[in-house]
Amino acid sequence: MTTASTPTTQLQRLGQSIWLDNITRGILDDGTLGNWIASLSITGLTSNPSIYNNAIKKSDFYDTAITEKVRQGRTGEDLFFELAIEDLQRAADLFAPIHTATGGLDGWVSLEVSPLLAYDTAATIASAKQLHAQAARDNLFIKIPGTPEGLPAIEEAIFAGVPVNVTLLFTVEQYLAAAEAYLRGIERRLDAGLSPRVCSVASLFISRWDTPTANLLPSHLKNRLGITIGQKAYAAYRTLLASDRFARLANAGTLPQRLLFASTGTKDPEASDVLYVEHLAAPSTINTMPDKTLLAFADHGVVPAGLSGGGGDAERQLFEITAAGVDLPTLGNTLQREGAEAFVKSWHDLLAVLADKS
């Protein structure tokens, strides 16, 4: 990776990993991903049904592979997962040196279970195990939603040795529930005499808080709710890492379940295009950025001193936001439900595109 002092290398030196919130066969074939790893300090990437729906629908990169796999009898979800796993295997191999150099902490790619399983614990567990085995890469996370039904699946997947990216987290309470599921899975492994080195990240969605509240808040709080939730979650994360419970697990060799800031592309055209990146720069975390946000930050981003673990300012702003009439628990649950529904819609659209191309 480059040693030049650029915004992305400065963010990396602060201690925050930069992951790409995108994957297409095009950026693998033309060398773009490899170039960004070398020049923009990218150390991982994430995917989801919406990303793949756009990638397959809006390009012809997958057409030949779709034709071949259909001839082999692949259809529907099986067809999609074969295409996605081929991409993610190639990406995982590009990140493998980073994964090795960081002792397994970084250099990850992510594949999501079918969003149709968001409220089906048993089916999610079975799918997570099957997909991880099919991908056959040590640095591939299986994404499981942090819904109430997903939490037991997260614990069981961790206990089974499947690395998990917990997705669709919005509130601090949802994050802490995901962290609890991870810790229970690790503790059960230790009790069973198994290795505690099963990695996980917890993905907190940021920008989606600000769209539904844009017209509810005074100007000084506009586009601040997502940042404030992120800051409060970071304080909770740091408290957890400093706890006696985690210290005992770390002493046995457990790596932290890192907090990942997701959905960090700016949606308000009047706001800074690097708003969420600059305000959520924090050691021992991850920011997964869409292409546009990554390139904007590399061009003109400014790396601040970094968040503290105190959370005092966040608590004051959340008090103001609540006083302005925003019901945070209700909105957080609504955002999680709507996020799951949006992924289901993208999933159905994706399968329809595959059927058409088939």
Give me the half-sphere count of Cα atoms (radius 13 Å) on the Cβ side of residue 316: 3
Task: Name the pTM for this structure.
Answer: 0.94
Do the bridges between strand 109-112 and strand 140-145 make them parallel or antiparallel, or are there none, so unpaired?
Answer: parallel
If you average pLDDT over every residue of the chain, what do you get?
94
Per-residue pLDDT of 21-63, as tens digits, reads 999 999 999 999 999 999 999 999 999 888 999 889 888 899 9
Longest dimension (CA), the chain: 60
Percent residues over pLDDT 90 in the chain: 88
Return the exposure string of 251-287: e unless at least 16 CB atoms fall within 10 Å of the residue's CB, then b.
eeebbbbbbbbbbbbbeeeeebbbbbbbbbbbebbbb
Angle at 191 between CA 189 and CA 193, to 5 degrees: 70
The whole-number pLDDT of residue 310 equals: 59
Residues taking part in catalysis: 143
- CB proximity list for 333: less than 8 A, separation 6 or greater: 170, 171
Q: How large is the average pLDDT for residues 269-281?
A: 95
Note the CATH architecture for domain 7-357: Alpha-Beta Barrel (3.20)
Which of 103-107, 272-276, 317-321 is predicted least confidently?
317-321
- CB proximity list for 326: less than 8 A, separation 6 or greater: 213, 216, 217, 225
